[in-house]
C-alpha cells in the first residue's frame, strides 16, 4: 500500500488538493476491497487538479494505462468502477462515486490580511510563514478528518466507460508524423493530424 509520502514524492509538493485526492483514493480502495486479479479498477475524475496525482499513485489507475478517464467538468467528483476482465461484454460494474464535500475553515482576520499581502506580491518572511502555516493547517485537517466530514458517497452499478482500443496509425500529409486513425482529419483531400488540421501552416 502506498503512503501519503509516496504521493507527495510523485507530485513534487504537499498541498490540500493532494491530501483530498489521497483521502478519496484510500476510501475507494477500502470500499472496493482488495482487487481481484481478473478485475481492473477504472477511475473517472472530473477535474485535473493536484488530487488526480494522488488517485494515480494510490489506486494504480493511470493516464497511460487508460484506466484513468478525465472528464473536464471542474467538479471534485471521483468515480471508481471494477471492470471484470473475463466478461468484456459487461457494460456496468460495481462502483463508488465520491463527491468531496470538504469546506476549508473560515480564515481568521489575521490570515486574510496576510493572504491579501501575499496576493499583492508581498513575499516577506512574515507573509510566507503565515501562508505556509495556513496551508499546513488545511492539509492536517484533511488528513485527520473523518470520512463523513470529507466525502459524500454513493455506491451501485455504474456504466463502464468504453475500453481503450489500439488503432492503426496513419501518416500526416503535412508534418509527416504518425497519428492514430480516429484522430486523423481530412484537409483538402489529404489525411492530416489535428495540429496541422487546425494550424494555418501549409
- Residues at the interface with Zn ion (CB under 5 A): 15, 18, 50, 172, 174-175, 193, 196
Handedness of CA 49, 50, 54, 57 (dihedral sign): positive
Paired with 82 in beta bridges are: 41
For residue 14, give the 3-state DSSP assignment.
Answer: coil
Element (DSSP H or E) covering residue 51: helix 51-59
Q: Which of 61, 107, 99 is nearest to 78 (CA)?
A: 99
Spatial separation of the C-alpha atoms in residues 197 and 186, rounded to whole Å: 8
Helix/strand/coil (H, E, C) string of 134-163?
HHHHHHHHHHHCCHHHHEEEEEEEEECCCC
Say which DSSP state 38 is in.
T
Euclidean distance between CA atoms 2 and 59, whole angstroms: 9
How many residues are recorded in the chain?
202
Residue 97: its H or E element: strand 92-100
Amino acid at each position: 500500500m502506498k503512503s501519503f509520502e509516496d504521493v507527495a514524492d510523485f507530485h513534487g509538493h504537499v498541498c490540500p488538493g493532494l491530501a483530498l485526492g489521497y483521502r478519496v483514493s484510500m476510501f475507494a480502495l477500502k470500499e472496493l476491497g482488495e482487487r481481484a486479479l481478473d478485475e481492473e479498477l477504472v477511475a473517472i475524475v472530473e477535474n485535473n487538479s493536484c488530487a488526480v496525482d494522488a488517485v494515480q499513485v494510490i489506486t494504480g489507475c493511470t493516464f497511460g494505462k487508460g484506466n484513468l478517464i478525465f472528464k473536464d467538468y471542474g467538479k471534485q467528483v471521483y468515480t471508481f468502477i471494477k471492470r471484470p476482465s473475463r466478461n468484456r461484454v459487461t457494460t456496468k460494474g460495481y462502483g463508488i462515486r465520491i463527491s468531496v464535500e470538504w469546506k476549508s475553515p473560515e480564515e481568521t482576520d489575521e490570515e486574510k490580511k496576510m493572504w491579501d499581502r501575499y496576493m499583492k506580491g508581498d513575499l516577506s518572511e512574515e507573509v510566507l510563514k503565515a501562508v505556509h502555516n495556513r496551508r499546513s493547517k488545511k492539509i492536517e485537517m484533511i488528513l485527520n478528518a473523518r470520512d463523513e466530514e470529507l466525502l459524500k458517497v454513493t455506491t451501485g452499478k455504474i456504466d463502464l466507460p468504453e475500453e481503450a482500443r489500439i488503432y492503426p496509425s496513419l501518416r500526416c500529409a503535412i508534418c509527416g508524423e504518425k497519428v492514430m486513425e480516429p484522430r486523423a482529419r481530412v484537409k483538402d483531400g489529404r489525411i492530416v493530424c489535428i495540429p496541422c488540421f487546425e494550424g494555418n501552416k501549409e
